[in-house]
Structure 1
Amino acid sequence: MDLLLQIEDIIENNGSDFELSKLFKQYIKEYKESLPELFKENQGKDFLVKHTKQLDSIITLMYKTVLRRLFGNFLPMRSQIPIAIIALGSYGREQLCVHSDIDLLIVYEKVEGYNSELIIEKLFYLALDAGMKLGHRVHEVRDLFKAANEDITIRTSLMEARLITGSPFIWHATQRELNRVRTYKQKEFILEKIEEAQIRRKKYPISMQPNIKEGVGGLRDAQLIFWVAKTIYNVNSSKDLSGKVFTEEEYREFRVALELLYRVRSALHLITGKQEDKLLLEHIPQVSKMLGFKNQMKFASKVLQAGWRINNFTQIFVKKMVRPFIVEQSYITKFRHNRIQKGIYLLDDRVFASYNLKPLPITELLEILIKLPDRDYRFDAGFLNQFTY
């Protein structure tokens, strides 16, 4: 029997909440069992988007079921009920992996005649009893700004908010608050996110068994690009900066690398049956076969190359975007006194290159390095840009 008819049958016969949750649990179980076949047809971002859309439909149906249960045949219009159900984090980005937590934000207003708290409570009980892995927050619209600025994790997740279902009026009010959050103390937020990334990159360094999500050149680095871009430019996608911050070709190379990591991470989740984000050597044979690679060494090499590409792209273009926030007037004078040649500088054992400098031949870059005194140097993102692009 069709799921909708089964739900209606339970409600009409005054069935229990347990019966409804059991019905949804079985439906979700059957859907999860179909994911390997779906992955064969749609890999990478397409697979993640399809998975996200299916979860959207399940959560929407759960919400409708709760409303039908509470209001009976006198169901108000969706826009009248002062609740918005919003996806956050990777779910909001439509990049939710198979065994990742489903992050939800429920935003509501207290309106006489609608017991919003009861509706929200019933929805969560139904979802949890059906076996969904939820991470959730509940706020009144007026509390969002305060909550976001008390915790950087909350503020970050709100940047990727996406409406699933509910009142368009509450969603519009939420968007106004989110824009207030975005423009508040931008410099402090960006610098804190960069510091957070540096700590994470030390914890998960470059490895022959890379952490696809948290490691250097992993998905978190790609997300950092978006968080910074969203804060400064209010874009909806990193792609919106093509032709402005980076070229179309630079973005295309980054996107190809990112697509491979999406495929690898999804395969890891499906193979292990859990939230496994580390490409261990023992997983390489199965993952490479699942992704259509005949040569395991070539597959492993492609993954490491993708990490290198994402790592460089992140370092170069995050620095390019945040320069106005971190440049100090005193440094301008120091750079002038420590110029090696036009656009190239050496300061505190770090080699810098202006982003406005046209790409130099690799031979000229090597000659610059050879002429430097023999000691350890670090290289700024601008100089890395010369070698990468």
Structure 2
Amino acid sequence: MGAHGRGDRGWRGDPDPGARRRQRPVNAPVAANDAAAPAPPGEDDATWSARTRAALQAHDAKLARRFDQGEEVDRLVALRARAVDQALKEAWARCIPTEAPLALFAVGGYGRGELFPHSDIDLLVLADADSQLDQHDGLACFFAMLWDAGLAASHAVRSPDQCTDAAADQTVLTALIEWRALVADEAAQAALAAAISPQRVWPPRDFFVAKREELRARHARFGDT
């Protein structure tokens, strides 16, 4: 689950290149009319996917116009993330029973509340092994609906212990530490936070050194550009 989307990703002629580097607070207010309309009652899955795909395409076109008019990129990528948030929550509600002990998180760049055009939609489903098996069909439904709606998500389905094991790879941990709850109660959020805490995975100094070496290696690989 990589964090992507730092370059031009489909919006043209950035009037303010520095805006790309300014992180917008995830919880900053967003106007209600920037999100897609709720699903009509009784809508079947195929119709939902088609309607959502069209709505997101229209939303992207609107954001592109606002970009061309000089609006700050940090707000536009946050608005795009919010629109995708709503689509994900609707698809989840269609496929996963409310009482199922599963939780859905955004991670990586999407976890920061930033989503450039064509950027990865990085997701984590948190569930114990039994729940993963019990909800196999529901999860298959969820990811199929996202695909049909034009949302090609990069996802992992893990238990808290599996998150701890995966976080031994500092690239995975980099994505996980930027988690943001989409459909998750307080217990699930606490479980994920504990699973990737410094007490269980990388001590802060070791993680910093690993990221510094990764940065140096990347610069060397691309001629210090």
Query: TM-score, normalised on structure 1?
Result: 0.44
Q: Decide whether the 8 Å contact of 2:103 with 2:185 is kept in 1.
A: yes
Amino acid at match of 1:32: D
User: Displacement of 1:21 after TM fit?
Assistant: 2.3
Amino acid at match of 1:26: A
1:123 aligns with 142
The 2-side partners of 1:56 and 1:181 are apart by 31
Q: Decide whether the 8 Å contact of 2:164 with 2:201 is kept in 1.
A: no
The 1-side partners of 2:118 and 2:183 are apart by 23
The 1-side partners of 2:213 and 2:161 are apart by 30
1:385 aligns with none
Q: Decide whether the 8 Å contact of 1:105 with 1:138 is kept in 2.
A: yes
User: Displacement of 1:24 after TM fit?
Assistant: 2.1
Amino acid at match of 1:192: A
Q: Decide whether the 8 Å contact of 1:84 with 1:170 is kept in 2.
A: yes
The 2-side partners of 1:133 and 1:172 are apart by 28
2:42 aligns with 9
Q: Decide whether the 8 Å contact of 1:82 with 1:116 is kept in 2.
A: no
**What is the aligned residue count?**
187
SS of equivalent to 2:197? helix
> 1:114-153 counterparts in 2 under 5 A?
115-149=134-168, 151-153=169-171
The runs of at least 4 consecutive aligned structure 1 residues that moved more than 6 Å come to none
1:327 aligns with none
1:98 aligns with 117
1:265 aligns with none
Higher helix residue share: 1
Distance 1:42 1:66, change over 3 A: farther
1:35 aligns with 63
Percent of paired sites with the same residue: 22
Q: Decide whether the 8 Å contact of 2:39 with 2:48 is kept in 1.
A: no
The 2-side partners of 1:38 and 1:105 are apart by 31
1:225 aligns with none
- What per-residue deviation string (whole Å, max 9, x for no partner) do you get for residues 124-165 of structure 1? 11111211131111101221101111x221111111111112
2:173 aligns with 155
2:33 aligns with none
> 1:34-73 counterparts in 2 under 5 A?
34-39=62-67, 40=69, 42-67=71-96
Amino acid at match of 2:170: I
The 1-side partners of 2:199 and 2:157 are apart by 17
SS of equivalent to 2:113? coil
Q: Decide whether the 8 Å contact of 2:124 with 2:157 is kept in 1.
A: yes
Who wins on radius of gyration, i.e. which is larger?
A: 1
Q: Decide whether the 8 Å contact of 1:159 with 1:182 is kept in 2.
A: no
RMSD of Structure 2 on Structure 1 (CA): 2.5
SS of equivalent to 1:173? helix
The 2-side partners of 1:4 and 1:137 are apart by 27
The 2-side partners of 1:33 and 1:44 are apart by 14
Amino acid at match of 1:29: Q
SS of equivalent to 1:98? coil
The 1-side partners of 2:155 and 2:211 are apart by 22
2:9 aligns with none
The 1-side partners of 2:95 and 2:129 are apart by 18
Q: Which runs of 5+ in 2 are unaligned?
A: 1-36
User: Displacement of 1:183 after TM fit?
Assistant: 5.4
The 2-side partners of 1:140 and 1:170 are apart by 10
SS of equivalent to 1:163? strand
Distance 1:182 1:61, change over 3 A: same
The 1-side partners of 2:217 and 2:88 are apart by 35
Amino acid at match of 1:94: G
Tell which deviates more after alignment, 114-123 or 96-105: 114-123
Q: Decide whether the 8 Å contact of 2:198 with 2:204 is kept in 1.
A: no
Is residue 170 of structure 1 aligned with residue 188 of structure 2? yes
- Say which of 9, 23, 27 aligns to 2:51: 23
Distance 1:48 1:29, change over 3 A: closer
Tell which deviates more after alignment, 175-184 or 117-126: 175-184
Distance 1:117 1:47, change over 3 A: same
Q: Decide whether the 8 Å contact of 1:84 with 1:107 is kept in 2.
A: yes
Is residue 193 of structure 1 aligned with residue 221 of structure 2? no
SS of equivalent to 1:9? coil
2:26 aligns with none
Is residue 81 of structure 1 aligned with residue 100 of structure 2? yes
